[in-house]
Amino acid sequence: MTELLRGTRPVVMGVLNVTPDSFSDGGRYADLDAAVEHGVRLYQEGADLIDVGGESTRPGAVRVDAETESARVLPVVRALAAAGVPMSIDTTRSAVADAALAAGASVVNDVSGGLADPLMRTVVAAAGCPWILMHWRGHSDRMQDLAHYHDVVGEVRTELAARVDDALAAGVAADKIIVDPGIGFAKRPEHNWRLTANLSDLISLGYPVLFAASRKSYLGRLLTDAAGTPRPVDQRAAATIATSVLAVAAGAWGVRVHDVRDTVDALAVWQASGSPRVGPAESDGGHR
C-alpha cells in the first residue's frame, strides 16, 4: 500500500456501487455474484483499487441505515478479498469502515472528510490505513443548497486543510492522508471547472490528490445536444477520460472512474508521451 500511495504512476480506482440508486449504475451490481464479477473485471482491466460503496451519495439521495449499508458491502468485500482484489471502502460511517477493514478492505474513502462521523478518525488511526478525505459540506439531500462560494478554490483548499488538521490531531499519520476536492458535492458546474483548472492549488497542500469526476452531471450538461438535452450518463466516458488525463497531468495522485480500461489506456498514452504536465489556468481576477 505504501507503494500505491507514493508511487510514480497515477492510481486508478474502479467504482463498484452495490446500491439500487446510484446515479450511474444503480442496481446493476446489487446482486453479490454480479458485484464480485464486476469488481474482479475492473481489477483485471487495470484498477489499482476497487472502491466498494453501499450508500448512494448522488444529489438528493436519501440515507440508508448502517445495517443496510453493511449488509450490502461486507459480503462483497470478503469475496473480493478472497479473490486477491485490493479495495477501498466508500463510507462515511466508522462502524462500516471498521467492519470492511476487518473483512479485507485496505483504504477508507470518506466523502465527508470525517465530518459525518467523528469516530471515523479513531477507526482510521487505529487501523493505520490510508484515508481519503473529500471536501464536503453536507449530506446528499441538502448538499446542493450549500454550493455557495466567493472563492471556490481557496475555500475548498482551506476546508480540506482543516480536515487534514483534524486527522493529524487524531493520530492519523501524515503519509496515510489523501485529499479529494469533491467534484459535484456542494458544487455547481462552474465550481467543478474552476477546481479542475486549479488543481495545483490543492496539490500545494502537500498531500496526494484524488480526482473523481466520472460520469457526473456537469459533464452531461457540457455535452448537450441541439435541443439542450444533457448527454446521458452512459455516454460520458470520453469526457470523463479527458478530465482524468488533465487531472493527472496537473499532478493528481489518482482518479476514481467507472470506465477503467479506457482510462488505463489513456493514461498509458500520457505516460508514453513523456507524462507532460499542465499548469493552472490563467487568473481571471478570482476563483468564483
- Annotated catalytic sites, by residue? 216, 256
Q: Is 129 exposed, middle or buried (0-12, 13-18, 19+ CB in 10 A)?
A: buried
Q: Report how far residue 151's alpha carbon sits from residue 191's, in angstroms, rounded to the nearest whole number.
A: 9
What 8-state DSSP symbol labels residue 209? B
Q: Report how far residue 124's alpha carbon sits from residue 262's, in angstroms, rounded to the nearest whole number.
A: 32
Q: Is 145 exposed, middle or buried (0-12, 13-18, 19+ CB in 10 A)?
A: exposed
CB atoms within 10 A of CB 198: 22
Beta-bridge mates of residue 53: 17, 90
